[in-house]
Structure 1
């Protein structure tokens, strides 16, 4: 087993609230140490610009000046996150795992688009950067998402299944570890994205604080059922979504009160999880992502799922740092040539690696020889 690397993982999710950064030590198969973490929010102006970009990303050119300007502003915030976190760690950092910001995801069109200047991040931090985690999987016919199941499975080693980890970000996704250890994963449907947009429109706050708006409303079940008639929800894993895939749901609730609209959108997210087609019924569900902070969503999940539902903190995990830690973990997997693609996770036809490495900020990356001197000799069961 190779010596673990000390990695900073970076994640900017589809909720567009800011950059999460976390340090872990890992060999890409197990985690030796969880270090400090932090979150740096985006200022409201940058968040608004990035959010507006999502509505145009399907048709906008990659060299569009506004895309480039937002990319540089986002990258600058990532640099700040790395530098702020480094001062909390005594030993040197070996590597950065940089997810970037997804602005468009359409694997059925062979496209997934994450913006972020990895070369600039490497130059300004002096560290090697692994990035572009999703595009190779999509080119192989996979969904390019979700990728977090590799990390969830590593953290859950030794815990008997069937058990599920549900990440409620802008889009929600689930990892299920079966009784035999098989990993199955997919996006379940909208997570926080629709509720965030609705809350911003009606309250000026870009999320439903404490789930209060949804808790005060009535669910319009007819609207929920019409939205759930979309073929996506009956489709078995693997499958994935763009943040804007169900943007039309906002129009569906447009005539409702602020409270009823929020309650209906929250119910949509919960019911989409309940209807997700899994090969086994999980006995336990552990929830991460911003959605676990929403009591209305959590209460809805407990009522809908015939199983125990708890935040991932019950496992001793840091639910706010989890996705950032994940991309540190995946960065080391990428360096070692370990799989990021798998039939049951992303739908790619085989176990294949992914990600790209830039050493733009390193004059002599001798550590890379050490990392790559331990070849990978097999695929997971």
Structure 2
């Protein structure tokens, strides 16, 4: 495949391993860093049970902890393997490598995504854009969420005219309110983004602890349960929900949820955790500049039928699977980091005061080249 002029659209391969720890997503996007020209092939490499256990053991750990290095080796190995397979037929101009978030404390120790982009650049002989969050945190931002500018581009790609919200339900939930009629995305009126609260992580952890499986497939168990609304009400009293966005969360910032559902049966506990995730989204919607015309749900949580039921019951606007717009809800995060890789390489901002709370629009990320060069 021919490479495109440096100022025109190029193909980039984005890779993402989320806090749900299911595996690595890979996706191609053709972009000039502003508009989306086309979407390309996608791929997925699941973690083995052993790999997932080693990654889970490193959650909450910072640089220097003995659990981090072996977990980082897994991150690099699986990402490199997936990228090598996907690059065979379509060589990208850039790889966007998010790494694996092990700890996130923007107002304290910072943010920690494991994985060395320079190693990947050398192994794959392709420029790698990585360490997307550090510059934002260093400038006073939350370092998350980072997909909002991509969500803005997606809204324009599907021809949306009215403001809408993109709700990503991974381990943690995050929402982007976008007005596709306003550009560029760093314009203060174009985007607002923040983490809504825990999403899939508490349910996944419950299923792992009680049934030895990674998730409640399709929400089958939660569909048979009843939410404990007192637990949901107590959950919403957490100080996080009083904070004005932008704001972000660590995967394990709500440990009391596990204790709260300890005395419930498996089905009721699963339904209650799903209800908490949906209630957090409903509470977060109160911060939107104006009611969105619809909420497009992306990420693994949209496959949980109980989660979608709870969202539709608790929100006052239409809730849709983002796939119904022609976008790929399983790959949106990976696609985001392909898009952001090109923005970083071309010196464009990747976050702004209304997406992460950073002091001014900033272009994060480091570009590592195969020869050891970069910035």
Which TM bucket (shorter chain)?
Answer: over 0.9
SS of the residue aligned with 1:241?
coil
Q: 1:79 maps to what in 2? A: 80
Structure 2: tracts of 5 or more residues without a match: 1-5, 183-189
Conserved 8 A contact 1:178-1:280: no
The alignment status of 1:198 with 2:203, answered yes or no, reads no
Matched residues in 1 for 2:67 and 2:245: separation?
35
Conserved 8 A contact 2:145-2:355: yes
The alignment status of 1:46 with 2:54, answered yes or no, reads no
Superposed, 1:40-189 pairs within 5 Å as 40-54=45-59, 56-57=60-61, 60=62, 62-89=63-90, 92-157=91-156, 158-178=159-179, 181=182, 182-189=190-197
Conserved 8 A contact 1:72-1:117: no
The structure 1 segments of at least 4 consecutive aligned residues displaced by more than 3 Å after TM superposition are 178-181, 362-365
Conserved 8 A contact 1:127-1:362: no
| Among 239, 250, 260, the residue aligned to 2:258 | 250
Aligned length: 359
Q: Deviations over 1:185-211 (max 9, x none)?
A: 100001100010001122221111110
Deviation at 1:156? Answer: 0.8
Matched residues in 2 for 1:266 and 1:73: separation?
30
Q: If the length of structure 1 is used for normalisation, what is the TM-score?
A: 0.91
The alignment status of 1:324 with 2:334, answered yes or no, reads yes
Matched residues in 1 for 2:149 and 2:83: separation?
23
| Among 294, 298, 309, the residue aligned to 1:288 | 298
| Among 33, 36, 46, the residue aligned to 1:31 | 36
Deviation at 1:363? Answer: 7.8
Deviation at 1:180? Answer: 6.0
Conserved 8 A contact 1:170-1:243: yes
The alignment status of 1:10 with 2:15, answered yes or no, reads yes
Conserved 8 A contact 2:118-2:372: no
When the two chains are superposed, the root-mean-square deviation of aligned CA atoms in Å is 1.7
Matched residues in 1 for 2:353 and 2:106: separation?
15
Matched residues in 1 for 2:336 and 2:200: separation?
20
Q: Deviations over 1:18-46 (max 9, x none)?
A: 00001111111011121100110000111
